[in-house]
Structures are given as structure tokens and as C-alpha cells.
Structure 1
Amino acid sequence: MSAGEEKSQRPWLRLAPLGVFLLLAGLFVARLFSGDPSKLPSALIGRPAPAFTLPAVEGLAGVSGFGDADLRQGHVSVINVFASWCAPCRAEAPTLLTLAHDETLKAAGVKLYGLSYKDDAANAVRFLTQEGNPFDAVGADSLGRTAIDFGVYGVPETFVVRGDGVVAYKFVGPLSPYALEKTLIPEIEKALKASAAPPS
């Protein structure tokens, strides 16, 4: 049998690469639209925040750094991972200011922390000066090690931490007013209830 006759008897061999490509493309599209990207799983949910101590951002007057000990003081903490070079971080800045000015959450003792991710100090200061600084404290994570320990995929990301230092929730991506009202504030309220409950 000649090579030409053999090929004509097995036309599926020529179609196999196309079939594999279409299968992989289909799986990719299915995963892409299979859920809310803000609900990416985190290994830290239900576990204590990693140990860390972040210095203050140099040049940010009157604003201290923070560490894991600050997250175990009985109040609910919200940690926002941001960077001046991150366009979505600029987009979510007004929403963070809204969160910072929420009188109900303030009265409940909720603290808002900023984690400045792999950023130049001068750029971070400029960013917070231009956009407004919603944070009670801002830590400089210049090497990104703390963000790695938190399992950060990219900026921005926001974590809700209970008063005992246990990570309760993770939001991936920029916060919109809708996400703040429908997702983040309800998660903060859940953390407040859990923090107020007596230990079992």
C-alpha cells in the first residue's frame, strides 16, 4: 500500500490536531465563564493571617505600617492590596473612600489597612495624595513577600479578617460600588458577628 493510499484511508489523522485544539478551547471558555472571578478560592480562608510586619511607606506622614499582631486586636480588619502602577486600583479608590467613611462600620471598630505592593514609596505617596488615603495604616511590601504569603494573585485584592486574626473572606479585583454594597459589606458584617460571638 502506498503512502498516499494509507493517508486517504485515515483522514481523521489530519483532523486530530483540530479536534484537540477545539476541545482545549472549549474547556478554556467554560472555565472562563464558570463563575465569579472575585470568588477565587484562597487557602487562607478560615485560617490565621500569615505572620508579617510591614514598615510604614516612607514619606507618608502620620501613617504607620502594620503587621499580623494588629489583626488580632478584636476588631474586624479589611486589607486592601494596591499599587500606584495598577489602573484598576485607581478605579476602585473612590469605593475605598466610601468604605472608609461608613459611619456604621467605623462605630463597629472596623479598621482599613493598605498593603502597598511592590511600589516605589514616592509613587505610593503620590497615589494616595491624588486619590485620597482611606487607610488607617499602610504597610510597604516592597518585595511582595507578604502578598505572596496571603496568596495574592494580582492587585487589587481585598481581605476581610476577623477580630482574632483569622481570614474570613477574599475579594479579587477592583471593588465597585455594587460589589461593596452587595458583597464586601455583607462579608464584613458576617465577620463582625463572628468576632462578637463567644469562643466555643
Structure 2
Amino acid sequence: MNDTLSNAISIRKVDINYYVDLILKDEKIQKDIVDLTLNHPHIMTYYHGYYILDQATKLKPEIFYKYWDEFSSLLKHENTYHRQIGIVLLSNLSNIDIDDKFSECINDYLNCLYDNKILIGKYCVMYLKNIFKSKPKHRHQIIDELLNHKRKTPYTEKQEALLEFYVLELIEENYQELKNKEEINKYIIEKQESISPKAKKKCKELIKKYKLS
């Protein structure tokens, strides 16, 4: 590992933008940042590496596609933050997944919806919004998993309600393209009884917006 780089990015007020610019231009530093993010034991090193990669993969996802398999392996990592990193980076790369690698890891990705940590379940729903747009062949499987999440949920009622808000956001962003409108509308109407104020408010907006009864 690059110990000099590790020390540099682990400081509290690291200049993330500087390193984002650097790894977009320097392939050696790019490889080192990926290595440190995936394998370094110190949280300030790998978490700042994650911040750098998150921004960089949004700006130029195509130059990070070669790391897809390494990022995918994080979905089953024992460390919670590494699972989060995998969820986010794969979502960022899904728009340029020319080899359809997501099909190989979709089950691992969706399994994160039922992670023992609610943080991971939340991130999975949030970042599925991007994948939903970029992977139309998987939309039916994704929306079916989300609409029926409560049947298999490991979370408390309050935690589940938090996820419902993000599911409703995904529905709103893609409503016109969704085919199973009857099931979608039923979900929206049912979530009027959600204990989440945000989910309840979103339901009211969608019922009015789509003239649901």
C-alpha cells in the first residue's frame, strides 16, 4: 500500500477535490486510492478514499469501470462501511455498464435491502434509484422487491417506515414508465398509514398528483 498517500488522505481536513482531480489524471494514484479504500484498515483512510471515489466515479465513471468486480465484492464485505461503499460506487458506474456486469451481482445488491444494519438498507434503496433508470431490464425485479420489502424485512416498524419514503421517491421519479400501475397505486394508498411523517406527506402529494382515490 502507498503509506505516504494513506497518511495524506487520512487527515481530518483533507482536500477531497484535490485528490478527485488527481485520480482523474494519474492512473497510478487512482489505483492506489482504490487499493486504500478497499483494503486499508484505518477508517479515516478508507472513508476519505470513498469520498474521493464517489465524486470521481460520478465525473468520469468510464475510467473506473475496470474496478467493477472489486467494487462488487464489497457488497458482501463484513464491514458495514465497505458494503455502503460498494452500493454507492456500483450505482455510480451503472450508467456505463457496457458488459452488463450488474446482472451478475443484482442478487447481492438487492440482498443489501435486508442487511442487518438499517444504514445499508437505506443506502440500497436510495442508490437503487439510479440503477432503476440505467438498468431497465431489471426494473420489474427491483420494484417488486421494494413493494414487497415489508414481507421479509429485518427492521423495526419505525425503520421500515424510513425506507418507505425512499421507495415512494423512486416511484415518483419513474411513475410514468412503471407498468404495474395498479400495484403501484395500491402501495401509495396503503402508505398513507405510514408512521413516517415524510412518507405520509409524500403519499398525500402522490395521491393528489396522480388523482388516486
Normalising by structure 1, report the TM-score. 0.25
Structure with greater proportional helix content: 2
Greater Cα radius of gyration, structure 1 or 2: 1
- TM-score by length of structure 2 reads 0.24
Greater share of strand = 1
Structure with the bigger RCO (C-alpha within 8 Å, sep 6+) is: 1
